[in-house]
Chain A
């Protein structure tokens, strides 16, 4: 796991605020080529927002601070051309709402063609041939004809696969996949995951996998970051995280996870709600919901190293497990 090669992407203290309210509160992590990083956490904790900020896709209303280095060059505050050259080619994204991410007035083939012309320099008939090959790889039946279909003529799951094909079309070094398999049935999901792994093996593509599906994350990811209220509360190798979660929030999340091979249990709701904006306590953001709250939790928390490659934002993490 530990590797001396410099990271492909390193995010340092990334902060995203809207109208003075911080929604991402200091994200720090790094990804190496070929690695898969899982991002988990309750809805609204800033998973999507962080990666939209990395790609510079948030628009003027978002105030972004911190640093994102791609192969050592800074992307926060970089000029538009620099970001445009990087998007789609070096870092591609599969959006959480794949049907919305497709232009309703262009055929899906046209939209994949566009990426191939832009990033792969393909021209003429070769473009559509490659588009159909990509559609075939993501399991769209009869790709030659389906390439002429529009997003509203396909199912949500098919649109999701089209979005994945489109993101892979630019042969990115890093793929950010935001809930890429939510609308897929288990067979197709397995097929897509195999495809993504194949692409990673062939090209060394790194991947950020944002998901609510913890068993998927445990299966696919090398590293996992657990986000809570806009910050990472635990970051560890997938094996360590699932075997020995150090942060109470992670433990609460995992408690809702179905046992392998066991019957699916409903996700256990964690009592209370996520603080944000003005309610954000100075200490641990999870304190009000934590079963193991002590006075020290009300003081600002720092990252503690639990083990090599395993950190948690909890003062008890040192002594846990």
Chain B
């Protein structure tokens, strides 16, 4: 046994690489399948929800026009064929033409990604900057008043939808105090309220996860052993507790990153922010099928990609995952 291990060090290292590569390949396949499933689901759902020709031309359109539209858009083919054709087109970036303004759906959607990121990214940073330290503090001072405060705040953030926080913020800061604009201005002041209402709600959830992840690590015997080595309490926390807890937090953070595009719908509507969420609401209201499809698939792809990256990061931090012993 020992002898084999001595003879085969090179093989052993190569083995780890191969295992990691296989792990990544599997996760990649899973991500692609996820997006495909979402796309399929969206395509079927949108087809079931109404005849695209009627939706495009209106209920009063003459039968001849409807027929012509169907022939032109391949809507006479069996549904599986339609979906296959559509997927092929999507692979080439062709999601169809927006029914609202007649331009290609993909560029239209991509133009709205930037404003969404303008509020979603700062909100994500706020979530991380607030949620992780708050959870850490609550975990380290378990059952103290700080812990109770953080957990009460987190419960509130979880129970109260982010638009309620948004409405309250608008009432206080925009209406009563008049300090900040309540809507739609791509300026720093205009960013503040949407970012804060998004970030606060998410921070509560993250604080809860962080706290339970850290409490989980703190009860492991290796933490006591780390103290026995003579490490200071902060060194134990920073070198042994927090990194291990972050490894288990990565999937949660991945969800937050994956939700960057999808999580802003309500807040964008509330603040009339000209982003993806707003576009989605308008597109749904107008039954703009290509735009809706494009947004949903893009959101799903972001989520899948972020999960993939976080899974790989998790495996890199905790090699037991790859070896299947975690």
The dominant DSSP class at the B interface is: helix
**A contact residues around B233 at 8 Å (CB):** 80, 84
**B contact residues around A92 at 8 Å (CB):** 228-229
**Contact residues of A with B, CB < 8 Å?**
52, 55, 57, 80-81, 84-89, 92-93, 95, 97, 100-106, 114-115, 118-119, 141-142, 145, 150, 152-153, 163, 166, 170
Contact flags B292-320 to A (C-beta < 8 A → 1, else 0): 00000000000000000000000001111
**A contact residues around B320 at 8 Å (CB):** 104-105, 150, 152
Tell me the complex Cα distance, A95–B239, Å: 20
Known contacts A95-B221, A142-B6: does B243 contact A105 (CB below 8 Å)? yes
Tell me the complex Cα distance, A166–B244, Å: 20
**A contact residues around B247 at 8 Å (CB):** 105
Determine whether B224 belongs to the interface, using a CB cutoff of 8 Å to chain A: yes
Select which of A57, A81, A102, A152 is within 8 A of B227 by beta carbon.
A57
Tell me the complex Cα distance, A102–B320, Å: 14
Determine whether B58 belongs to the interface, using a CB cutoff of 8 Å to chain A: no
A259 to chain B, nearest CB (A): 34
Q: How many A-B residue pairs have CB under 8 A?
A: 83
Which of B229, B232, B319 has the most chain A CB within a 10 Å cutoff?
Answer: B229
B16 to chain A, nearest CB (A): 10
Known contacts A105-B317, A141-B2: does B228 contact A95 (CB below 8 Å)? yes
Question: Are B230 and A88 neighbours in the complex by a CB distance under 8 Å?
Answer: yes
Question: Are A152 and B325 neighbours in the complex by a CB distance under 8 Å?
Answer: yes
17 A-B residue pairs with Cβ-Cβ distance under 8 Å, sorted by A, are A55-B228, A80-B233, A84-B231, A84-B233, A87-B230, A95-B225, A95-B228, A97-B221, A103-B240, A105-B317, A106-B240, A114-B229, A115-B229, A119-B230, A141-B6, A152-B325, A163-B225
Which of B224, B231, B233 has the most chain A CB within a 10 Å cutoff?
Answer: B224
Tell me the complex Cα distance, A118–B227, Å: 12
Question: Are A101 and B239 neighbours in the complex by a CB distance under 8 Å?
Answer: no
Question: Are B5 and A57 neighbours in the complex by a CB distance under 8 Å?
Answer: no
**B contact residues around A103 at 8 Å (CB):** 222, 226, 240, 244
Tell me the complex Cα distance, A78–B208, Å: 34
Known contacts A105-B244, A105-B318: does B231 contact A57 (CB below 8 Å)? no
Tell me the complex Cα distance, A115–B231, Å: 8
Tell me the complex Cα distance, A119–B232, Å: 12
Question: Are A87 and B229 neighbours in the complex by a CB distance under 8 Å?
Answer: yes
**Contact residues of B with A, CB < 8 Å?**
2, 5-6, 9, 12, 220-222, 224-233, 239-240, 243-244, 247, 317-320, 323, 325
Known contacts A97-B221, A141-B2, A142-B6: does B228 contact A84 (CB below 8 Å)? no
A73 to chain B, nearest CB (A): 16
9 residue pairs, one from A and one from B, having the closest CB atoms: A88-B230, A101-B225, A100-B221, A87-B230, A88-B229, A103-B222, A93-B228, A105-B318, A105-B244
Question: Are A114 and B228 neighbours in the complex by a CB distance under 8 Å?
Answer: no
Which of B225, B226, B227, B240 has the most chain A CB within a 10 Å cutoff?
Answer: B225
Select which of B6, B226, B227, B318 is within 8 A of A104 by beta carbon.
B318
Question: Are A101 and B231 neighbours in the complex by a CB distance under 8 Å?
Answer: no
**A contact residues around B317 at 8 Å (CB):** 105
Known contacts A142-B5, A145-B9: does B222 contact A84 (CB below 8 Å)? no
**B contact residues around A87 at 8 Å (CB):** 227-230
**B contact residues around A57 at 8 Å (CB):** 224, 227-228
**B contact residues around A141 at 8 Å (CB):** 2, 5-6
Select which of A52, A85, A153, A170 is within 8 A of B229 by beta carbon.
A170
Tell me the complex Cα distance, A52–B222, Å: 14
**A contact residues around B239 at 8 Å (CB):** 114
**A contact residues around B222 at 8 Å (CB):** 100-104
